[in-house]
Amino acid sequence: MVEEHAARLRPKGKELVELLDSAGQVLAEPVLADRNFPPFPRATRDGYAVRSSDLAQLPATLSVVGEVKAGAPANAALQLNPGQAIAIMTGAPAPPGADAVVMIEYTSRNGDQVEITKGIAAGENIVPVGAEAKRAERLLSPGMRLDAAAIAVAASAGRSHLLVYSKPRVAVLATGDELVDIDVPPGPNQIRNSNSYSLAAQVQAAGGEPVLLPIAPDHPDRLRELIADGFEMDLLLLTGGVSVGKYDLVEQVLAEFQAEFFFTGAQIQPGRPVVFGRAPCRAGSSFGVSTRAREGEEHGFSRADKDAQTSGALAPEGHTYFFGLPGNPVSTMVTFELFARPMLEALAGLTPRKLVFLHAKLKSEIKTKPGLKRFLPAILSGEFEHSEVELVRWQGSGDMAATARANCYIVIPSDRERIEPGEWVPVLMR
């Protein structure tokens, strides 16, 4: 459902960034090989460049006629003839005539002679010119996230700057009369707004730029104003106020914006009341950043100054998508991962991908009530083929402290009541 809508979204623009600042951004252009990779036949071991046919009889004694080290200037005179060897270092070009490099461990040098005790196949320990990539071949494709490996590739192709997609601006609106800002002393029956901060972190990790709006009380007028501000961003995330309580007003107020609701609830736990929809961008709206949105920036979560007038109006046919995420902190985090992240990644220009699930052996028994698919905070431990997973003990989907001790979620199918220790279970990484 979310994926269908995500497939229609396009990122809003591109910008040139320095390679050093590009980590985590989404590439917006292909990166091509500016030369052959490798540009010369590269030795991958320290040893001796040889003709493999000279090692048919062992041990073989060859005469050493020279040495090549990595980075040495090209020496046209260096040529390997039958019966000869050339000392060579890792990363150096194999000289003409050589078809393999014997590792130094299988050799013993005696003056200008070397004795070799192990045979070798042609091509061993030499990477031929262009074997990794030919000149002008595509090394990286648009839509990929720039991780360390991709950045290494760009650097090796001489790209000090890269074109990346502009980050979508994501409005984060926490709702609830009981909430106070984190820098305000809470009254005895108040709690601090933690969801805006967990969401800001998740938005950043997914490639977006969070813009924290002020807390909305459970009152339609103020909620309406703040939702209007939120719709001026590229995506609106609300938390709280989507259950069936008397003061859960979010859906009702969203409906006033001619919102279309694609779903209002999912058969999952935590996160059952999650809402997904979109509303038309308002005619005549400047799509600028309103005063209230800027208050969010003062919290240091947004660097909106560079394109303050260009935000909004990304969605096809002029819609802005929204998610009403349940207020329980763990529900907020899980529903972001499952539903909001794919939308945000599409806005950020990432090529769509499926959520990654691992499998691990269950350490201790799980009993649940069937009916809902569950995503329960858990700890994955162990190494390599011995990974084990077990639930953290928690007080339900409001228990952030337990979730902070967890490093993943165990996914429990909706038809299971009991899972035995030793069974392989799907795990969603955090």
* 221 SS3 class: helix
Task: Describe the crossing of helices 291-298 and 220-230 by its angle, rounded to 10 degrees.
Answer: 80
Which does residue 47 bind out of ligand AMP, Mg ion, none, counting CB within 5 to 8 angstroms by kind? none
CB of 297 to ligand AMP, least distance (A): 19
Which does residue 239 bind out of Mg ion, ligand AMP, none, counting CB within 5 to 8 angstroms by kind? ligand AMP
Which does residue 398 bind out of ligand AMP, Mg ion, none, counting CB within 5 to 8 angstroms by kind? ligand AMP
Counting contacts by CB under 5 A, is residue 326 touching Mg ion? no
Which does residue 193 bind out of Mg ion, ligand AMP, none, counting CB within 5 to 8 angstroms by kind? ligand AMP
CB of 363 to ligand AMP, least distance (A): 29
Which does residue 382 bind out of ligand AMP, Mg ion, none, counting CB within 5 to 8 angstroms by kind? none
In the numeric block, the tokens 């979310």 are attached to: 2
Strand residue runs (E) in 45-195 = 47-50, 60-68, 84-88, 100-103, 107-110, 113-116, 126-127, 138-140, 161-165, 169-174, 179-180, 191-192
Chain centroid, CA 117 distance in Å: 48
Q: Helices (DSSP H) in 285-427: which residue ranges?
A: 291-298, 329-335, 341-347, 400-405
Residue among 236 and 410 whose Cβ is closer to Mg ion: 236
Counting contacts by CB under 5 A, is residue 217 touching Mg ion? no
Tokens of 175: 């709702």
Tokens of 132: 């990794």
CB of 139 to ligand AMP, least distance (A): 43
Residue 202 CB neighbour total at 10 angstroms: 22
CB of 151 to ligand AMP, least distance (A): 35
Q: Are 190 and 178 in contact (CB under 8 A)?
A: yes
Tokens of 320: 């802005």
Counting contacts by CB under 5 A, is residue 273 touching Mg ion? no
Q: Are 221 and 234 in contact (CB under 8 A)?
A: no
CB of 199 to Mg ion, least distance (A): 15
Pairing of strands 60-68, 84-88: parallel
| Residue whose C-beta lies closest to ligand AMP | 327
Residue among 129 and 250 whose Cβ is closer to Mg ion: 250
CB of 174 to Mg ion, least distance (A): 9
User: Comparing C-alpha atoms, which of 205, 191, 334 is closest to residue 274?
Assistant: 334
CB of 177 to ligand AMP, least distance (A): 9
Which residues of the shown chain bind ligand AMP in the complex (CB under 6 A)?
Answer: 174, 176, 178-179, 191, 193-196, 239-243, 245, 326-329, 398
Q: Distance between CA atoms of 236 and 172, rounded to whole angstroms?
A: 6
Residue among 11 and 271 whose Cβ is closer to ligand AMP: 271
Residue among 296 and 329 whose Cβ is closer to ligand AMP: 329
Counting contacts by CB under 5 A, is residue 176 touching Mg ion? yes
CB of 262 to ligand AMP, least distance (A): 19
Residue among 58 and 182 whose Cβ is closer to ligand AMP: 182
Residue among 125 and 193 whose Cβ is closer to ligand AMP: 193
Residue among 178 and 388 whose Cβ is closer to ligand AMP: 178
CB of 397 to ligand AMP, least distance (A): 8
CB of 273 to ligand AMP, least distance (A): 7
CA separation, residue 308 to residues 28, 245, 282 (Å)? 21, 37, 17
Residue among 95 and 327 whose Cβ is closer to Mg ion: 327
User: Comparing C-alpha atoms, which of 43, 165, 59 is closest to residue 101?
Assistant: 43
Positions in 222-251 near Mg ion (CB under 5 A):
240-241
* 3 SS3 class: helix
Which letter, b or e, does each residue of 12-32 get, where b requires 16 or more Cβ atoms within 10 Å of its Cβ? bebeebeeeebeebbbbeebe
Residue among 195 and 311 whose Cβ is closer to Mg ion: 195
Name every residue whose Cβ is closer than 8 Å to that of residue 133 and which is 6 or more positions away in sequence: 33, 36, 37, 139
Residue among 200 and 408 whose Cβ is closer to ligand AMP: 200
Interface contacts to Mg ion, rule CB under 5 A: 176, 240-241, 327
